[in-house]
């Protein structure tokens, strides 16, 4: 039994004058998953997300969110979704708890605002004015506002920008908690680590086009199947032993350091078994497994930071 | 559907009061100027000079009140433009909040402070501007609030479309001050060149002046039903159009 996707995007296109921000973008987001749209800044992530949220209208293509048209049924949709925008502002002198209370009053079934403030670590700032908050605190407030109506679908645009590593991990836990309660999350990020740790599936976008879609593991296997093991040994027979391992592609040496490359998932295991079997002594042992960053580089020819 | 209106209004009032400059500028300064002018014009407290020009004794209160209404409109336009430019409207857009709810909340805040300013002016200026005995103050206040609401709806419309705060002041000024000039306060509408007469009859201030003058002069509401009808129609028309053309960013 296949359930209809929570978000269905079909060939949307958005141009601003001569700039093509989003070009033939299509993807689906399934119920209960954390789906990430990943790519560098300016790739079209925010434009795509805002089209899906109903804040912008694509020039072409079709979008369906929870079965609704985000442009025509905007208000009905707003009841059921939570939105955290990338660049957002509030009145300068509004207090944190006032903002949360205002948002809560706009929806039919809001959650406990105070508890949400607590969960996001803003309890000490309940009565602080918006303009006195740090970047990270503002970000957390906006996340609270996105969750106040207990939405079925949450949109998070670059949600850990400006957060220190500790706050970042806390937010990741929060997002996983949302998924655990059966909600669906659609997020954008340019941080590969975030995508790898958080997302069930990702779509890679660059210059307005979707390059590939899949789980992080699938994408790595598909585009960067190569992995390496680096070790330092004085044993001169080691290289030949490693070359004998099935499916090893190359063994190169630089002084006493050997680099073993292969495409197989079990490469690391086989190397370790080989070390044990032949009692090869090593003084350093490292593995290099490709990440989504390597996938991006392979697919686009440039790093995500360029 | 105006969900969130009362909470937003109350919130905007609190936020406005938190900025001391705002309150001083909106309430304090007009009251001070009014009272100061009064001291200059009639230095002897309590007595209205019999040969005081009609403008001062009758039209000045009307002129002043309309000026306050005009400044309320300008600040309404300005604050919406600031919210728009600052991305606050954008954040509010991704909620069930409707544009007319936001505009109405700000209108109510402006009305409240306008009424407060006027009340303070009347109280503080009692000695310099003694009320002629037979002025129906309650009716006049009502007529004034009614006119302000109608004029503010024009502000609604301007606020819906002005893109940035920088344009808010010039556009508002460009529209409001000629409107004051054509409204019949200084020159009777009938004496204006025909083209300008047409323009004057399309502006809410003209009917507000007629209504306010009439009530102040004791003519009663019945004599000004036409003004009331036009002002009401204009209100609904401006509000309807502004909701359609509202720019979130």
Which chain B residues are within 8 Å of A93, Cβ to Cβ?
15, 18-19
Helix axes B99-124, B137-161, angle to 10 degrees: 140
What was the pLDDT predicted at A88? 78
DSSP assignment letter at A95:
B
What is the C-alpha separation between A81 and B31, in angstroms, rounded? Answer: 48
Reported confidence tier of residue B135, pLDDT bands at 50, 70, 90:
low
Q: Over 70: is that where the pLDDT of B53 sits?
A: no
Q: Does A242 touch chain B (CB under 8 A)?
A: no
Of B86, B97, B248, the CB nearest to A106: B97
Strand A227-232 vs strand A201-206: parallel, antiparallel, or unpaired?
unpaired
Nearest CA in chain B to A106: B4
What was the pLDDT predicted at B49? 53
Q: Over 60: is that where the pLDDT of B192 sits?
A: yes
Are the Cβ atoms of A102 and B11 closer than 8 angstroms? yes
Which chain B residues are within 8 Å of A92, Cβ to Cβ?
15
Are the Cβ atoms of A107 and B86 closer than 8 angstroms? no
Q: Give which of A89, A113, A130, A144 to mutate to test B binding, by max B Cβ within 10 Å.
A: A89
What was the pLDDT predicted at B44? 56
Q: Does A89 touch chain B (CB under 8 A)?
A: yes
Q: Does B87 touch chain A (CB under 8 A)?
A: yes
Tokens of B181: 């000039």
Q: How many CA atoms lie within 13 A of B11 on its CB side?
A: 23
Q: Does A88 touch chain B (CB under 8 A)?
A: yes
What is the C-alpha separation between A223 and A218, in angstroms, rounded? Answer: 9
- In this prediction, residues B124-152 reach a mean pLDDT of 74
Which residues of chain A register pLDDT less than 50? none
pLDDT in tens, B116-130: 877 787 777 666 666
Report the mean per-residue pLDDT for chain B: 78
What is the C-alpha separation between B224 and B205, in angstroms, rounded? Answer: 14
What is the C-alpha separation between B29 and B18, in angstroms, rounded? Answer: 17
What was the pLDDT predicted at A1? 55
- In this prediction, residues B126-138 reach a mean pLDDT of 66
Burial class from Cβ neighbours inside 10 Å (0-12, 13-18, 19+) for residue A207 reads middle
What was the pLDDT predicted at A235? 86
Are the Cβ atoms of B15 and A103 closer than 8 angstroms? no
Query: What number of other Cβ atoms are within 10 A of residue B142's Cβ?
Result: 13
Percent of chain B residues topping a pLDDT of 70? 84
Of B7, B83, B93, the CB nearest to A102: B7
Shortest Cα distance from A51 to chain B (angstroms)?
A: 12
pLDDT in tens, A65-116: 999 999 888 888 988 999 988 777 888 899 999 999 999 998 888 999 999 9
Nearest CA in chain B to A52: B94
Are the Cβ atoms of A87 and B87 closer than 8 angstroms? yes
Residue A114, SS3?
helix
What was the pLDDT predicted at B133? 58
Q: Does B238 touch chain A (CB under 8 A)?
A: no
More confident residue, A81 or B29: A81
Q: Over 70: is that where the pLDDT of B47 sits?
A: no
ipTM of this model?
A: 0.73
Burial class from Cβ neighbours inside 10 Å (0-12, 13-18, 19+) for residue B228 reads middle
Pairs of CB atoms within 8 A across A/B: 55
């Amino acid at each position: 039994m296949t359930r209809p996707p929570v978000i269905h995007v079909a060939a949307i296109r958005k141009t601003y004058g001569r700039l093509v921000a989003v070009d033939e973008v299509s993807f689906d987001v399934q119920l209960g998953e954390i789906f990430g749209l990943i790519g560098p800044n300016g790739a079209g992530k925010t434009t795509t997300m805002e089209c899906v949220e109903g804040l912008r209208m694509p020039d072409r293509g079709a979008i369906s969110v929870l079965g609704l048209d985000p442009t025509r049924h905007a208000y009905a949709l707003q009841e059921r979704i939570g939105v955290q925008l990338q660049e957002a502002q509030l009145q300068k002198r509004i207090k944190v708890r006032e903002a949360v209370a205002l948002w809560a009053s706009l929806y039919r079934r809001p959650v406990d605002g105070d508890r949400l403030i607590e969960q996001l670590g803003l309890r000490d700032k309940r009565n602080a004015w918006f303009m006195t908050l740090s970047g990270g605190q503002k970000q957390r407030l906006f996340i609270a506002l996105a969750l106040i109506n207990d939405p079925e679908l949450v949109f998070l645009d670059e949600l850990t920008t400006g957060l220190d590593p500790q706050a970042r991990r806390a937010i990741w836990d929060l997002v996983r908690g949302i998924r655990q309660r059966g909600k669906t999350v659609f997020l954008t990020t340019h941080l590969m680590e975030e995508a790898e740790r958080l997302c069930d599936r990702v779509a890679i976008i660059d210059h307005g086009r979707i390059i590939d879609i899949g789980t992080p593991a699938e994408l790595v296997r598909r585009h960067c199947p190569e992995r390496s093991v680096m070790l330092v040994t004085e044993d001169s027979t080691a290289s030949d032993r490693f070359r004998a391992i099935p499916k090893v592609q190359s063994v190169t040496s630089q002084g006493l350091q050997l680099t073993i490359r292969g495409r197989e998932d079990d490469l690391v295991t086989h190397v370790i078994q080989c070390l044990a079997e032949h009692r090869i002594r090593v003084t350093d042992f490292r593995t290099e497994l490709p990440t989504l960053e390597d996938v991006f580089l392979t697919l686009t020819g440039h790093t995500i930071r360029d | 559907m105006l969900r969130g209106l009362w909470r937003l209004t109350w919130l905007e009032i609190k936020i406005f009061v938190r900025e001391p400059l705002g309150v001083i500028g909106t309430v304090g300064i007009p009251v001070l100027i009014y009272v100061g002018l009064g001291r200059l014009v009639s230095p002897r407290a309590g007595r209205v000079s019999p040969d005081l020009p009609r403008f001062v004794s009758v039209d000045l209160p009307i002129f002043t009140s309309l000026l306050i209404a005009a400044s309320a409109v300008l600040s309404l336009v300005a604050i919406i433009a600031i919210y728009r430019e600052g991305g606050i409207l954008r954040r509010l857009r991704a909620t069930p909040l409707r544009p007319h709810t936001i505009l109405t909340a700000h209108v109510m805040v402006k009305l409240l402070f306008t009424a407060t300013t006027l009340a303070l002016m009347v109280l503080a200026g009692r000695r310099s501007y003694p009320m002629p005995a037979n002025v129906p103050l309650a009716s006049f206040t009502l007529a004034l609030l009614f006119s302000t609401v109608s004029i503010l709806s024009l502000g609604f419309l301007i606020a819906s479309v002005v893109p940035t705060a920088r344009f808010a002041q010039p556009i508002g000024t460009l529209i409001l001050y000629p409107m004051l000039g054509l409204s019949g306060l200084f020159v009777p509408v009938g004496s204006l060149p025909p083209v300008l007469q047409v323009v004057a009859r399309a502006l809410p201030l003209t009917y507000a002046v007629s209504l306010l003058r009439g009530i102040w002069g004791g003519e009663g509401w019945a004599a000004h039903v036409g003004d009331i009808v036009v002002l009401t129609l204009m209100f609904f028309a401006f509000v309807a159009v502004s909701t359609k053309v509202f720019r979130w960013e």
